[in-house]
Amino acid sequence: MTISAFRRDYYPVQSTLLGALLRKGISVENLARDPAIDLRDLCNVWLSREVQGAALPFSRIGCIEMVSLHNQDQSTDLEQSILSSIHAYFLMLDLATCAGMCVESLGLPVLGGGNQHVATELISIPVLNECLSFLMRNEWVRDIHIITRNQGQAYQFARALDTSYSFAQSSTRADASVPGANAAQTADKLAFISYSSGDKNIADNLCVKLESRGIKAWYAPRDVRSGDYASSIVDAIERCTHFVVIIGEHSLKSQHVLNEIDLAFHRLGKGVTFCPLRLDKEKLGPAFTYYLSRQHWMDACVPPLEQRLEEFANKLSEN
């Protein structure tokens, strides 16, 4: 069972999961004093020893500790903190498996949707990405349960999961199609999103906006087949109708983004439309200038970024 708490703060407020556990005789504060795995100093996560004497459907409690609300000046910082903590949490569960503490079933609450007020549509896809990746690489885990009492949050997660499943089904059909068939034969629009890991939050957000408009989006790591990054990326670029590249200080240093641009560049005139999204005024290097100088990009330098992403998604849906 996964819980969340503020850093080193395990006070069992009545309306919280910590409070509910205490009413069942489980003190999270006591468990935190001697955890089986303690990574709080590095990445704010820890895993308890086995919970004894509790008639509950779990044997251990894993905790993701959040930064204090008073230390957060911007919602984007909080969102990044939550996503980084979730990523660290799954890596900790990998470590637990290596140490013989195998996870067979995992309960994961929707983090950030309470007092932190992080929008569910921003958190759903990255959380599902982490869950799917964990399921693929860990042979012990059978199921992961996303837990929320909020019906709207449940709907957002269900829609994101359904979209991912539908895309996987369409990808399978595309793989079985005639080699070289036009991408339009399998979908009206397929947007490949090229981005640097430093802009992952933006890519996640953009993916939600595109798919909410009925545009299928492909991006790693969500849509990579069985860990085969290279062939999956090449295949997706071959099939995409729109090549979306997020350009900013992170991507301008990324050889992977440049490689993807090169692959898409050779498909110009063969059914692909370039759709660069410029995040800042960083100067393009020689290679990026060569590929992008004649492409029409949308400028997202002027805040608010959320509105720029909405405009970009609207424009792509119209073209």
pLDDT digits (tens, 9 = 90+) for 131-153: 888 888 888 999 999 888 888 88
Distance, in Å, from the CA atom of 271 to the CA atom of 35, rounded to the nearest integer, reads: 55
Give 24 or 39, the one with higher predicted confidence. 39
Q: Among 222-231, 235-244, 284-293, whose mean pLDDT is lowest?
A: 222-231
Please state the pTM of the whole predicted model: 0.59
Question: Which tokens in the block code for residue 286?
Answer: 């020689």
Cα–Cα distance, 294 to 292 (Å, whole number): 6
The reported pLDDT for the residue numbered 286 is 85
- Whether 313 and 189 have beta carbons less than 8 Å apart is answered as no
The pLDDT of 215-233, averaged and rounded, is: 85
Specify burial of residue 199 (Cβ count, 10 A radius: 0-12, 13-18, 19+). buried
Neighbour count for residue 236 (Cβ, 10 Å): 25
Q: Binning pLDDT at 50, 70 and 90, where does residue 175 land?
A: very low
Q: How confident is the model at residue 69, as a pLDDT? A: 45
Tokens of 312: 């970009």
The span from the CA of 203 to the CA of 217, in Å, is 10
- Residues forming beta bridges with residue 5, ordered by sequence position: 65
Mean pLDDT of 113-118: 62
Q: Roughly what angle, to the nearest 10 degrees, separates helices 120-137 and 200-212?
A: 110
- Give mean pLDDT, residues 69-78: 48
Instruction: Say how far apart CA 238 and CA 192 lie, in whole Å.
Output: 10
Contact predicate 2/109, CB 8 Å: yes
- When pLDDT is averaged across residues 204-231 and rounded to a whole number, the result is 87
Chain center to CA of 260: 20
Q: Is the pLDDT of residue 312 over 80?
A: yes
pLDDT at 70: 45
Question: What is the per-residue pLDDT for 181?
Answer: 42
The Cα 225–Cα 231 span in angstroms is 9
pLDDT in tens, 243-271: 999 999 999 999 899 999 999 988 887 88
Q: Residue 46: is it exposed, middle or buried by C-beta count within 10 angstroms (0-12/13-18/19+)?
A: buried
Kindly state the average pLDDT of the residues 286-312: 87
Mean pLDDT score across all residues of the chain? 82
Q: Once rounded to an integer, what is the mean pLDDT over residues 125-134?
A: 80
Residues in the chain: 319
- Pairing verdict, β 37-39 and 45-47: antiparallel
pLDDT above 90 (res 67): no
**Stronger pLDDT, 39 or 304, i.e. the higher one:** 39
50-64, 160-174, 204-218, range with the lowest pLDDT? 160-174
Question: For position 251, what pLDDT does the model report?
Answer: 93
Report residue 79's pLDDT band, with 50, 70 and 90 as the boundaries.
low
pLDDT band at 227 (very low <50, low <70, confident <90, very high): low
Residues 6+ apart with CB under 8 A from 199: 246, 248, 250, 251, 279
Q: Residue 236 above 60 pLDDT? A: yes
Residues 6+ apart with CB under 8 A from 16: none
Q: Which two tokens stand for residue 273?
A: 């439309």
200's tokens: 């992952």
> Which amino acid is it at 234?
V
